[in-house]
A and B are shown apart, each in its own frame.
Chain A
Amino acid sequence: MFSSLYLPIAGNGVNILLLLGLGGAVGFLSGLFGVGGGFLMTPLLIMAGIPSTVAAASDSNQIVAASTSGSYAHYRLGNVDFKMGLLLLLGGVLGGTLGVQLIKMLRALGNADFVIKITYVLMLGIVGLYMFVESLQSLRKKVPEISPGRRAEPGRPSLYARLIQALPWQMHFDKSGVTLSPILPILLGILVGILAAIMGVGGGFIMVPVMVYMLRMPMHVVVGTSLFQILFTCINVTIMQAVSNHTVDLVLAIVLLLGSTIGAQFGVKLSHRLKADQLKILLASIVLVVMVQILVGLLLAPGVMLDYKGGH
């Protein structure tokens, strides 16, 4: 009798063990690979029959919960660059608001599901392929890792470094130890905010590499600052989705959180037994498998040739 849980916003009864299992599996991968897992959670929920707009919005709410304790822990350790975080957040709020309105418009046109799925195919395809190729090269060559901040030689600034320096309103970020224009973090925040609204992700899988390679921030500050920015971006996206699209299912978010928190504990334990390159190639394979699954769904003729306008 209690095996099923009614999701009032999705308007459907779903097996509670399935939801806990999904949350647990994503949490396990999250703990294993040290990523948030939002980019896996939404596609898996869609595959489980949750409407994609509800899956994405509820996942944003789940990310609020998931990133709260992490943000607080990093704040206490002094790993949050608030100046950078606030600029990223400004962009994130703008991008998130834009993304939610985009989803609202697409729902009215009847193609929100398609845009969410195709964005996933593109993002997972790019990130998965990049990670796969990079880990494969790393496994073959065994080249010692070079700190990204030291890649550009001091005497010969790269084209990218010169471009960054040419941007107006250069300011120094003490905590990160970098000097750059606020335009860059704001633009990055906008991009992550749009993706958070469309895909229901925190955006850590884009934010972390971009902060390391493009903003040249030290790793310990990157994790804390990205969590801080993700927390507030997802708070904004959750409220906006609730107000504009009525797609946040609180029950779904909490069950997923319970599953993912427990799953993450097992993931963390196993991660100590595997090597970094093995972990990366495994994660890249999972990302690519999910991407292929969504792509196949878009390529093959659907079983039912009609769909509800605006999802369910």
Chain B
Amino acid sequence: MASRGLCGRIIWLFLGLLVLAGLPGGAPAASPELLITPEQIDIGTFFQGVQVQITGEIPKGSEAVVEIIGGTQAEHLMRKGRRLGLWMNVGEIEVHHAPSLYLAAATDPRLLSPSRNETSWGFAALKKRLSFSGQMQAGEEVQLFQQFLELKESEGLYDASTKIQRISSSGGGPPLVRTTFWLSGRVKPGNYRVCLSVIHQDGKVAQKCADLPVRAVGFPALLSSLAYQHEALYGILAVVIAIVTGYLMGLLFGGKGGH
């Protein structure tokens, strides 16, 4: 009798697990509406940046905007100025609510156009969210925003010029959009948000978002944690490794080293 009860519980548990495994929502990135490849980015020993492909479904006749957005933070920057004929840092500027990464693409480039004040995407939308403080004069925000964009664009961390391709879906399904972003080698580990905004013909907007984790792995992760969490140990280790490497190189090549 007792064994029959135990068997029954196991069967129910097994069925329950089957149902749970079949439920959607565990991995939003794998959803048919928004597919991110790769789903996770690892910063390893040979990392130099990576291509991220985003594919989404949109209804016929609608437009789409895809964004990759990093966490917001206060950026401490220095303004460059000329003193005694030499260019140097002359004043501190703090930028508030700036995402660490902002990459955007649209089916219609006008959706990201900087001239569209009403837009919810692109640099024009970013401009409305950011604020500046520090050694600046009134009315300098526009110039500072432009300089901030130039700094981030030079590092490949901000971009709003990528195109979205429309692809007709096989099997008569809804049309697909696809875009590929280049995630710069300067990207920092963290959790990034990928959002697909669909602009319907009646002007209504629907949004689907998913997480894109970026994490340091292997040797870079080990060295970073040592360097920032065990500074003295890292310093001593760097010296010991340098001495051993230098000595081995001396033995190998018979050189006398340099200064």
Contacts and interface: CB of A to CB of B under 8 A. Distances in A.
B216 A67 contact: no
Given A11-B186, A12-B185, A62 B242 contact: yes
Q: In the complex, which of the residues A61, A205, A257, A306 has the most CB atoms of chain B within 10 Å of its own CB atom?
A: A306
Interface residues of A, number: 82
Contacts of B232: 239, 242-243
B246 A67 contact: yes
Interface stretch (B55-63, B121-129, B164-172, B247-255): B247-255
B23 interface: no
Interface residues of B, number: 62
Given A37-B258, A64-B242, A306 B224 contact: no
A230 B259 contact: yes
Given A6-B47, A13-B47, A309 B258 contact: no
A288 interface: no
A70 interface: yes
Contacts of A101: none
Contacts of A8: 216, 219-221, 223-224, 227
B110 interface: no
Contacts of B78: 110-111, 306-309
B36 to A, nearest CB: 21
A204 B223 contact: no
Interface stretch (B4-12, B87-95, B174-182, B193-201): B87-95
Nearest to B82: A301
Interface stretch (A138-146, A159-167, A247-255): A247-255
Contacts of B17: none
Q: In the complex, which of the residues B75, B76, B231 has the most CB atoms of chain A within 10 Å of its own CB atom?
A: B231
B154 interface: yes
A6 B253 contact: no
Q: In the complex, which of the residues B49, B186, B227, B242 has the most CB atoms of chain A within 10 Å of its own CB atom?
A: B242
A238 B242 contact: yes
16 contacts: A4-B47, A13-B48, A37-B259, A64-B239, A64-B246, A65-B246, A68-B247, A70-B258, A242-B235, A248-B235, A248-B238, A264-B255, A268-B255, A306-B80, A309-B78, A309-B89
Given A13-B185, A250-B234, 10 more contacts: A8-B223, A64-B246, A69-B249, A202-B259, A204-B259, A239-B235, A254-B242, A261-B255, A264-B255, A265-B255
Interface of B: 43-49, 75-80, 82, 85-89, 92-93, 144, 147-148, 150-151, 154, 185-186, 188, 216, 219-221, 223-224, 227-228, 231-232, 234-239, 241-243, 245-247, 249-253, 255-259
